[in-house]
């Protein structure tokens, strides 16, 4: 399956620290997207990285993509309590999105 | 409105009842997706529309699940003869194409 698999499943850090989440997938992709979901809410798009890109930044977010290893990482720098949420990667082939089980991030104030 | 809306936000059904969940996508978005999200899990793809055409329904778990988008805008996900295992949050998303998806808040279905 093309489903992304996030690692770790859960992560707890102190406010101000950096948080790194990883994603692995199995087949070739057009692009890969990261989403965030607060408890009881819908998903919010964070960042899209195309298959020919290696790194992308958006504010405190940094995403890397290694197509040879079929993996991606999401780094959140200087974390805040408001970053507490679940984070999902979605490897994209065509129009189909296959989300993994996510990384549950807790940022302790 | 500016975003994807879904109704109802919460639905409680007795086992065996039929339910209909509505999604209003962002105006002009060609693509519309339905997902099922169980507690503690990621969203699982159910079906995909491009305009009124249902291009992929491979994720629908059984023939009790049916989705339509007759005019290429609003979509309805219908579940017939609901079972307890159907309890989940049903998310709808729309997009302009193979780009970011904009998600609605979801409908939480509880089957008693």
Question: pLDDT, tens digit, for every residue of A15-54?
Answer: 999 999 999 998 888 899 999 999 878 899 999 999 999 9
Write down the pLDDT at residue B2.
78
Report chain B residues whose CB lies below 8 A from the CB of A89. none
Contact A95 B105 (CB under 8 A): no
Please give the average per-residue pLDDT across B40-61, as a whole number: 92
Are the C-beta atoms of residues A100 and A49 closer than 8 Å to each other? no
Please give the Cα distance from B105 to B100 (Å, whole number): 16
Are the C-beta atoms of residues A105 and A86 closer than 8 Å to each other? yes
Hey, is B39 helix, strand or coil?
coil
Contact A95 B55 (CB under 8 A): yes
Question: pLDDT, tens digit, for every residue of B92-110?
Answer: 999 987 678 899 999 999 9
Instruction: Check pLDDT > 70 for residue A2.
Output: no
- Two tokens at A33? 């997207």
Q: How many CB pairs under 8 A join A and B?
A: 52
């Amino acid at each position: 399956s093309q489903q992304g698999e996030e690692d770790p499943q859960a992560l707890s850090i102190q406010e101000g620290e950096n948080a790194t989440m990883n994603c692995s997938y199995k087949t070739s992709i057009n692009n890969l997207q990261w989403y965030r979901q607060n408890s009881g809410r819908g998903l919010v798009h964070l960042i899209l990285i195309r298959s020919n890109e290696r790194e992308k930044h958006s504010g405190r977010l940094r995403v890397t993509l290694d197509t040879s290893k079929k993996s991606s990482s999401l780094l959140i720098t200087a974390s805040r309590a408001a970053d507490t949420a679940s984070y999902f990667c979605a490897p994209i082939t065509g129009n189909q999105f296959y989300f993994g089980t996510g990384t549950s991030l807790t940022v302790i104030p | 409105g500016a975003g994807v809306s879904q109704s109802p936000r919460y639905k409680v059904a007795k086992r065996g009842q039929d339910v209909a969940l509505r999604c209003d996508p962002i105006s002009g978005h060609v693509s519309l997706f339905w997902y099922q999200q169980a507690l503690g899990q990621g969203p699982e793809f159910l079906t995909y529309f491009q305009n009124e055409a249902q291009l992929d329904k491979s994720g629908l778990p059984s023939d009790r699940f049916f989705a339509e988008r007759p005019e290429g805008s609003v979509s309805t996900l219908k579940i017939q003869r609901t079972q307890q295992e159907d309890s989940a949050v049903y998310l709808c998303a729309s997009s302009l194409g193979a780009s970011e998806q904009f998600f609605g808040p979801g409908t939480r279905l509880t089957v008693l």
